[in-house]
Structure 1
Amino acid sequence: MKIKRNGRIGALIKILNDNPNKIFTLNYFTNKFNAAKSSISEDIVIAKKLMEDLKLGKIETIPGAAGGVKYIPLISKEDTKEILEDVCKKLSEPNRIIPGAFLYMADIIYNPNIVRKLGEIFATQFSGKKIDYVVTVETKGIPIALMTANALNVPLIILRRDSKVTEGSTVSINYLSGTTGKIQTMSISKRAINTGAKVIIIDDFMKAGGTAKGMIDMMKEFEATVVGIGVMIATKEPEEKVIKDYVPLLILDKVDEKNKLINIYANERLV
């Protein structure tokens, strides 16, 4: 069945958008749309310009025999600001404060539409670093890390609090959690990460940075290089974290449990 150009372009964008950072050959589209390579090449040029004009990400062509085309989900600063300010507005609701000056965030963290956008923001920040894995620790960081891994088209590695017999031989380390102030354990299967891999660490919350430091130490066991660290929310205090280079999406300044006030704002470097 022959498909007209408008239909081909719409379908092409849909396929690329559903498979970010995955390379599709021209032959894939010529066979799928029953069209000549020259026609598909023209479709890609039109789709590429359309996505860039509307700031919906980037369609990139890869030359050579093993080349093709892929979609890179890049979020503009304007869209990043809108997304993060919307999340801040939701998290600033007074009824989110729970005893101990903590915030209820489950409805945000487990909302697919929100975490997909947050994952794409992280993917934008770490784009071009040739990442092999996204790494997180169970449990609340998993949705955001998974969406980041999806946007980058790389596997997600989850460090567990307790080792599972189904994972075979594991590596375990102890670390000091900055949030709880307690010594905790994280473990991972020896088969999970290839030696010498490049990874980024994604987590939901950072206070002093102890958990992130634990994940960095775990990666050293595999001779892996941590090329970036991203957290959904970092507290303003303590200002000096145990790690230096990290990208927070939101900064939590203060939770006033008595007066039901929450001061949280977007990271100014991103917006």
Structure 2
Amino acid sequence: MKFRRSERLIDMTNFLLHHPRQLIPLTVFAERYRSAKSSISEDLAIIKEVFEERGIGTLQTVAGAAGGVKYQAFVSKDEARSFISELCETITDPARLLPGGYLYLTDILGDPMIVQKVGKMIAAAFIDKDIDVVMTIATKGIPLAYGVANYLNVPVVIVRNDNIVTEGSTVSINYVSGSTKRIQTMVLSKRSLSEGSKVLIIDDFMKAGGTINGMINLLEEFQAQLAGIAVLVEAEKAEERLVEDYLSLIKLSNVDLKQKQISVSEGNYFSKGNTSYS
């Protein structure tokens, strides 16, 4: 069956979106659609133009016998700023206040559309980084980690606070929680992480950064490398920040339980992330 051009464009777009950061040789498309490589190249040029105009992503072309095309996630600056603004408005709802000054974020982390958008934004911010694995700690960071990993096309590694029989032998370390100053334990299966892996750490909320710092120390036990750190929300007023180089979408500046007010603002996303926006 020979595809019409309109059919090729639709199917090719779908194929690329489902294979982010994967180099696809032109011969794959030529054989898939029984078309000449010259026709495939013209189709890809159209897709690239639309992707970039609509803020969907970009296509990178690699020349040579071993070359091909690769889809990279991309978010326009206006789209990113609009999304963060909407998210800030959502988080400032007084109904989110919990005893002790904590915020209820479970509904946000359980919303597939929000998680997908956050994942794409974080992945786009690390577009130029070489990343093999996305790491997070159970449990609230898991949806975000999968959202990011989807666009980076890499596996997710989940650090836990206790052993699980089905994960086999593990490596464990003790770390000091930045907020409670308590000594806690984190555990990771030995099979989860290969030596030399480049790891992007993801978390939903960071106060002092004790948990993230613990994951960084855990990487050393596996002789893995830290590729970056990204969080959905950071607390601005942390007494002693244990992590310095990180990306955040939202900054929590104040929680007033008496007045039932939550003050948030844009994080450092636009100053720390990739700056090649349209």
Q: TM-score, normalised by structure 1?
A: 0.95
Q: Is the 8 A contact 2:234 2:267 kept in 1?
A: no
Equivalents in 2 of 1:205, 1:268: separation in Å? Answer: 14
**Structure 2 residue aligned with 1:80:** 80
**Structure 2 residue aligned with 1:182:** 182
Q: Is the 8 A contact 1:167 1:189 kept in 2?
A: yes
Deviations 1:154-187 (A, max 9, x none): 1111111111122111100111122343221111
Secondary structure (helix, strand or coil) at the match of 2:135 reads: strand
Pair 1:31-2:36 in alignment: no
- Let me know the Cα RMSD of the aligned residues: 1.5
**Structure 2 residue aligned with 1:218:** 218
Segment drifting more, 72-81 vs 54-63: 54-63
Aligned pairs for 1:98-177 (under 5 A) are 98-177=98-177
Equivalents in 2 of 1:114, 1:136: separation in Å? Answer: 18
Secondary structure (helix, strand or coil) at the match of 2:270 reads: coil
Equivalents in 1 of 2:117, 2:180: separation in Å? Answer: 29
Give 1:34 shift.
Answer: 2.4
Q: Is the 8 A contact 2:146 2:156 kept in 1?
A: yes
Pair 1:198-2:182 in alignment: no
Unaligned runs of 5+ in 2: 272-278
Give 1:254 shift.
Answer: 0.9
The number of residues matched between the two structures is 271
Q: 1:161 to 1:69 in 2, by over 3 A?
A: same
Deviations 1:177-208 (A, max 9, x none): 22343221111111211111211111001000
Q: TM-score, normalised by structure 2?
A: 0.93
Give 1:240 shift.
Answer: 4.3
Give 1:268 shift.
Answer: 4.9
Equivalents in 2 of 1:257, 1:31: separation in Å? Answer: 63
Give 1:40 shift.
Answer: 0.8
Q: Is the 8 A contact 2:248 2:267 kept in 1?
A: yes
**Structure 2 residue aligned with 1:22:** 22
Q: Is the 8 A contact 1:179 1:206 kept in 2?
A: no
Query: Which letter maps to 1:75?
Result: V
Q: 1:193 to 1:140 in 2, by over 3 A?
A: same
Query: Which letter maps to 2:7?
Result: G
Give 1:269 shift.
Answer: 4.8
**Structure 2 residue aligned with 1:253:** 253
Q: 1:171 to 1:134 in 2, by over 3 A?
A: same
**Structure 2 residue aligned with 1:66:** 66
**Structure 1 residue aligned with 2:274:** none
Query: Which letter maps to 2:176?
Result: L
Equivalents in 2 of 1:269, 1:55: separation in Å? Answer: 17
Equivalents in 2 of 1:216, 1:134: separation in Å? Answer: 13
Query: Which letter maps to 1:220?
Result: E
Unaligned runs of 5+ in 1: none
Equivalents in 1 of 2:229, 2:57: separation in Å? Answer: 22
Equivalents in 1 of 2:76, 2:128: separation in Å? Answer: 16
Query: Which letter maps to 1:40?
Result: I
Give 1:89 shift.
Answer: 1.0
Equivalents in 1 of 2:31, 2:145: separation in Å? Answer: 34
Deviations 1:27-85 (A, max 9, x none): 22222222222111110111111212222210112223332212101112111111111
Segment drifting more, 227-236 vs 21-30: 21-30
Query: Which letter maps to 1:242?
Result: L
Equivalents in 2 of 1:120, 1:181: separation in Å? Answer: 33
Equivalents in 2 of 1:51, 1:39: separation in Å? Answer: 18
Pair 1:48-2:26 in alignment: no
Secondary structure (helix, strand or coil) at the match of 1:270 reads: helix
Equivalents in 1 of 2:137, 2:155: separation in Å? Answer: 14
Secondary structure (helix, strand or coil) at the match of 2:201 reads: strand
Give 1:3 shift.
Answer: 2.3
Secondary structure (helix, strand or coil) at the match of 1:264 reads: strand
Query: Which letter maps to 2:142?
Result: I
Equivalents in 2 of 1:40, 1:110: separation in Å? Answer: 39
